[in-house]
Structure 1
Amino acid sequence: MSNAPEDFSHIGFAKSIFLPALLIFLIPVISLLFFLYIQGYYDGQAREAILQQIRDDASLTEQEKTNAKELFTKVPFSRLIMHPDYADLVSSQASFDYTTFRWGIRLSLFSIIGSVVVFVLSGLCVLASLRSQWVQYVSLSASWHVLRIFGAAQVLIQGVLLFALSYWVTAFFFEIYVPKLIFIVGILALVAIAGVIKSIFMRLNNETVVEGVVIEQNSSPALWQELNTICAKVDTEIPDQVIAGIDDNFFVTEQSLTVGEKKYHGRTLFVSLSLLKQLNGTEADAVLAHEMAHFSGKDTLYTQKINPLLVRYDNYLQGLYEGGLSMPIFYFMNCFRALYEVSLRRLSRSREFRADQIATEVTSPADMAGALLKIVAYSSYRAKVEQDIFEKEEVLESANVSQEIAEGFDEYASSFMSNPDISHLQTSHPFDSHPSLDERMKAVGCSLESPESQAMLSEPGDGLWFEKIETAAELESQQWQEYEDRFRAYHEETLPYRFLPETEDELAIVVKAFPEVQLEGKEGLLTINHEGIQFPAWESPVQFRNLQECQLDDKQRLNFISADTTPNRLNLKKFEDQQKVLAAVERYYSRYLAAKAYKENVSQTATTDAE
């Protein structure tokens, strides 16, 4: 929902974002036209009946008849009966009907006019948000509060309009009403309203967990001393804490972070131990100067203010999306979320270019460019190594990610410049987006095409900043060990979902995770394994490879529909624990489907690569 395009003129933006937003007018426009028509129809009937009464009333003089005819001809009956002198012209039922029409028209107009007003105001806020970070925060905050209230009101209004239409459309055109239709629409409207209310008041978990170790000032004084020197050059205060980890990025933030079991507040700098080893001293200076420049530009302050609003906004969108009847409002709200994403990205890009420029002034363009190249190359190679290891279809005795990176990075770096996608690559970041490598290189006065770029990338790092962190080697080794243990465990969990066993080894992996289970029922023993399901009442077992569909009917029977055979039924009422049976069937059949999809994807990828 938040991946908005940068180009407003792109036809994809109009098709996927803007045009769907106009659906917010669909229900109120239909309601307005319908209730205006039906009110006019009833007005016409009432007018003709009254005019006929006037013509037939012998007690009236010609002048009185003329005056009465003029009144009832010029003034619509629906408006006339609102006057106390004429209210008794209609029955209580007719009065209620006219009140329904009147409020249907009012609510439709309110919805349409409100949508236009909010559309214009929010559009102006989006345009204003491009001016500065402060204006961006203020405009987003104001828009969020307006849009939240507007969205809730629209869900309520359009739900009421749909409920009214569910009765009046059939009653007016077909002179019948369908209780089931009215009930279903009413329930759907209540579900949509409940979903919006829930999303407004739901407490969100904004905790950000970071893997790493907090480096105290007294434990690594050399690190903090050099960091203090960098901060003085950038004209900002030193961070409140430094976290050292093995992620392939550097970042700063003012959001609260959880490290281990402790929560940290204030200004935080995260440094990558693994990347610090790849950089020489001045390249690390450039990277850290870049990060400290985000503090001096108050980038992290506004990110801290804006991110909770975006989380709230996205949660609200999710509530609208799941509400069913609230989908038109979802598209309307999503349009502005997408437009704000464009604004956020543009200012984010300008912030990155500013920080890069400050870093080049503190060090040199070559230092900044060299750091960018090594960070992007390292991230790219690490992702490749992890993917290659993860794709291995065997139980891993160990996942030596760090070792393979260390042994192969130099060779990878020597050919990295020939990567056809290199210009589009970005440095990773947990909170912000970054311009492409090519754009950042050009902004600091360097070019990817120049021979100097390959030389900078090939130059080995001296790890000067790595050495400034006491026990850095032990900290890095410990974190890599923990990471690789989790990596290997997750890899082992996924293996059974890759195989339609063809070898003894593959069979052993699948059976270990999915052993045969037996569930006792009143009609016999239900047996489930990785291949299918057996039950005494059936003529033949259900093989997952032949299963086309599995349905649960309203009589609590599981119907297994296979190719070229009659459906096999399993009456869940004959089992003491119905949920356990359902869960077992779903788990084993889902594993088969996942393995089948994996095999098809691998086969398709191999065919594409061969072509």
Structure 2
Amino acid sequence: MATTSSASGVLRGYVLPALLLFALPVFGLWFTGYASNWFDERIRSAISQQVMQDRELDEVQRKEVLEVYSTFSAVDACMSTDEERAGFRASFGDGCTDAMQFGWAYRGALGLVLLGLASALIALLCGLAAFISRPIQYLSFVVGWNLLRIATALQVIGQGALAVWLSYWVTAVLTQRYSVKLILAVGVMAAAAAFMVVVAIFRRPPMDFEVEAEVVEESKAPELWAHVRKLCQRLQTPPPDHLLAGIDANFFVTESDIRVGERTLKGRTLFVSLALLRLLERREAEAVLAHEMGHLLGGDTGHGKRLAPMLARFGQYLEALHEGGLTRPVYYFMLSYRGLFELSLGRSRRTSELAADRLAASVTSGRDVAHSLVKVGAYANFRDRVEAALFNRDEQHQSVAIAQRVAHGFAEYAQSEALQGDLHGSVTPHPFDSHPPLSARLENVGVKLSPDDMGQMLVEPVTSSWAEAFEDADGIEARLWGAYESRFSKAHDVALAYRYAPSNDEERAHVERYFPPMTFEAKEEGHEVRLTFAEVHCEEWAAPVHLNEVTTATTEDRMFKKYLDLVLNGTGATRGKVSICLNKLKDSEALLAAFGHYLGRHRASKEHQQSAERDAA
């Protein structure tokens, strides 16, 4: 049942949207055929009329001429270079120009269909090849990405040109008229789409990976550095060049460049969590370190470093396709290829994680690996719960004190039913990889732990921790937690400004701190606009409009002037629609930006209040 559901989800989410790549070219093929027949009928009708009116022809000759033209194709004749049809082309004159347009449009649409089929074949072959091995995975992505970005760029340009051509001929053929505005609009969209895609192909995204941590030199943790070097010597892999200490709920190793404050670290970097080290016995922490060094030994970090720039450029390219309007069908196609590649990448990463776990078990023990996995997973889940509960509260915090709340509440959480629910299928957080579920990792190292075993393990006091090996572990944690909790508190305050209705003076003051009353001056007296978190008022109006009354807000050009039109729901004093003439304001763009911001806040607040009422019911 789950497999069927998964297959159905892939079909709906990836395969069917990817077929939109062929929508416009296939329509172009159909329409050019239809238009060619329409054009031929007009030509045959005109020829038939001329033949019937030609008094120099007798009935037999008329019949012969009409039979010749009965299967005649103006498009074929005009596109042909045969001398036999030169007379036809000469007799058509300017009419051949239109006929040739249909012929070239047909060829262009057919070319786009064939290019799409070739692209689909490349995507499928490269995507499947990525499952074979890691070297082939990298090679297949290099080939797939480079070929498909060129092919899809050609699709964008080709489909844009086809869309412009169709914007004229579809209306001309079907309604005997055309719209200049439609042609210009489609032309602008096609040009913008092509520009965005070409720019995205050549733009290099920033590759900064910023980590909030402190660099720990060897003199600040000599015992830990010595242990890591000894471990790497045993595994026969070069040791890390840098050691970072932080408070995130994970450990990781990478060969990518990392930015820490003002410094950029190059080479191999090991990140350790002081918060987790305090929870782990030394042997358990050593199992984690052996696991991370296993990634260095297995080439996982090097593989990730090579792939990262291309994946980042691919992501940037997808974003451009998504935002390009006419490029959306191409976006869905490329998203499908990315999805297929991510499946292979996820499988290889899970294989690497399990291999690193087995290596760690051989260096320490399966029990140490299992205990470290449970402790890391439990801590990460409980910390997420604490932070979510704090952030979801609808009142300001005097002090968030996340570190203290986690430390004081962890033992109770470890004995609760919530622990087992969180750990069942739990995935260890990691900045680079998607790890296998906890159950699979425990089975991989040959350890079975009952719920009681897990709970007991988590509340047992730690006898010896590698956190003690740091010269200034307390200071590092205090500085990092202070910065993190400050950002958390500020983000929560901003969220409250979006949640409050407000219902009292204190909440009103908080909302106005982030959404203060604003006045937008007019070029002439009598057109000033005032905006608050609750309402908008233009001096030309009889009364202010509460934001709760606004159904839609759009801009429109009328009589060479630009207006902000507000459609109202009729619950207030004002009915129907009100407008603000933006040309009368000194800074209309500032009003549009602010109004969108304030209206978004009001709607977010309304949605939050309704959600709270539903939860309380």
Return the TM-score normalized by structure 1: 0.89
Tell me if structure 1 keeps the 8 A contact 2:543–2:574: no
C-alpha distance in structure 2 between counterparts of 1:432 and 1:72, whole Å:
68
SS of the residue corresponding to residue 218 of structure 2 reads coil
Distance 1:513 1:463, change over 3 A: farther
Q: 1:531 aligns with which of 530, 534, 546?
A: 534
Q: Per-residue CA shift, 1:386-429, capped at 9, x if unaligned?
A: 22222333333322111111112122122267532421221111
Q: 1:565 aligns with which of 565, 573, 586?
A: 573
SS of the residue corresponding to residue 566 of structure 1 reads coil
Counterpart residue number, 2:81:
83
Tell me if structure 2 keeps the 8 A contact 1:252–1:268: yes
Counterpart residue number, 2:544:
541
Question: Displacement of 1:16 after TM fit?
Answer: 1.7
Identity %: 36
Which of 138-147 and 452-461 deviates more? 452-461
C-alpha distance in structure 2 between counterparts of 1:503 and 1:544, whole Å:
18
Tell me if structure 2 keeps the 8 A contact 1:401–1:484: yes
Q: Give yes or no for the alignment of 1:19 onto 2:16.
A: yes
C-alpha distance in structure 2 between counterparts of 1:113 and 1:234, whole Å:
52
Which of 212-221 and 373-382 deviates more? 212-221
SS of the residue corresponding to residue 270 of structure 1 reads strand
C-alpha distance in structure 2 between counterparts of 1:574 and 1:53, whole Å:
66
Question: Displacement of 1:450 after TM fit?
Answer: 5.6
Letter of the 2:534 counterpart: E
Distance 1:527 1:133, change over 3 A: same
Distance 1:416 1:464, change over 3 A: farther
Letter of the 1:531 counterpart: A
C-alpha distance in structure 2 between counterparts of 1:242 and 1:350, whole Å:
26
Question: Displacement of 1:344 after TM fit?
Answer: 1.1
Tell me if structure 1 keeps the 8 A contact 2:74–2:96: no
| Aligned residue runs from structure 1 range 95-114, under 5 A | 95-114=96-115
C-alpha distance in structure 2 between counterparts of 1:322 and 1:182, whole Å:
21
Letter of the 2:33 counterpart: L
Tell me if structure 2 keeps the 8 A contact 1:523–1:574: no
RMSD of aligned residue pairs (Cα, Å): 3.1
C-alpha distance in structure 2 between counterparts of 1:429 and 1:595, whole Å:
33
Distance 1:71 1:126, change over 3 A: same
Letter of the 1:447 counterpart: K
Q: Give yes or no for the alignment of 1:444 onto 2:445.
A: yes
Distance 1:191 1:576, change over 3 A: closer
Question: Displacement of 1:572 after TM fit?
Answer: 4.3
SS of the residue corresponding to residue 424 of structure 1 reads coil
Counterpart residue number, 2:587:
577
Distance 1:39 1:569, change over 3 A: closer
Return the TM-score normalized by structure 2: 0.88
Q: Per-residue CA shift, 1:14-60, capped at 9, x if unaligned?
A: 11210111121222122223223433554566678879969989899
C-alpha distance in structure 2 between counterparts of 1:101 and 1:527, whole Å:
56
Which of 181-190 and 514-523 deviates more? 514-523
Q: 1:31 aligns with which of 17, 28, 31?
A: 28
C-alpha distance in structure 1 between counterparts of 2:161 and 2:73, whole Å:
25
Letter of the 1:532 counterpart: E
Which of 288-297 and 307-316 deviates more? 307-316
Tell me if structure 2 keeps the 8 A contact 1:284–1:371: yes
Letter of the 2:368 counterpart: D
Counterpart residue number, 1:510:
511
Q: Give yes or no for the alignment of 1:129 onto 2:130.
A: yes
Question: Displacement of 1:272 after TM fit?
Answer: 0.5
Tell me if structure 2 keeps the 8 A contact 1:278–1:463: no
SS of the residue corresponding to residue 271 of structure 2 reads strand
Letter of the 2:421 counterpart: P
Question: Displacement of 1:353 after TM fit?
Answer: 0.8
C-alpha distance in structure 1 between counterparts of 2:183 and 2:596, whole Å:
35
Q: Per-residue CA shift, 1:476-523, capped at 9, x if unaligned?
A: 122111212222222223322221122343233234444444555511
Counterpart residue number, 1:407:
408
C-alpha distance in structure 1 between counterparts of 2:543 and 2:34, whole Å:
63
Question: Displacement of 1:373 after TM fit?
Answer: 0.5
Tell me if structure 2 keeps the 8 A contact 1:523–1:537: yes
Tell me if structure 1 keeps the 8 A contact 2:279–2:375: yes
Counterpart residue number, 1:434:
435
Q: Give yes or no for the alignment of 1:390 onto 2:391.
A: yes
Structure 1: give runs of 5+ residues left out of the alignment.
none
C-alpha distance in structure 2 between counterparts of 1:426 and 1:573, whole Å:
56
Distance 1:288 1:92, change over 3 A: farther
Which of 557-566 and 309-318 deviates more? 557-566
SS of the residue corresponding to residue 419 of structure 1 reads helix
Point out which structure has higher relative CO (alpha carbons under 8 A, 6+ apart). 1
Tell me if structure 2 keeps the 8 A contact 1:28–1:109: yes
Question: Displacement of 1:600 after TM fit?
Answer: 1.9
Distance 1:582 1:371, change over 3 A: same
Question: Displacement of 1:260 after TM fit?
Answer: 0.7
Q: Per-residue CA shift, 1:207-245, capped at 9, x if unaligned?
A: 111111111223322111100122133331101111111
Tell me if structure 2 keeps the 8 A contact 1:277–1:462: no
Distance 1:55 1:124, change over 3 A: farther
SS of the residue corresponding to residue 450 of structure 2 reads coil
SS of the residue corresponding to residue 470 of structure 1 reads coil
Tell me if structure 2 keeps the 8 A contact 1:417–1:454: no
C-alpha distance in structure 2 between counterparts of 1:524 and 1:73, whole Å:
69
Q: Per-residue CA shift, 1:61-112, capped at 9, x if unaligned?
A: x99x99x999878885544552252334324422322321221121122111
Tell me if structure 1 keeps the 8 A contact 2:533–2:598: yes
Tell me if structure 1 keeps the 8 A contact 2:426–2:438: yes
SS of the residue corresponding to residue 220 of structure 2 reads coil
C-alpha distance in structure 2 between counterparts of 1:452 and 1:577, whole Å:
66
Q: 1:592 aligns with which of 602, 607, 616?
A: 602
Question: Displacement of 1:588 after TM fit?
Answer: 3.7
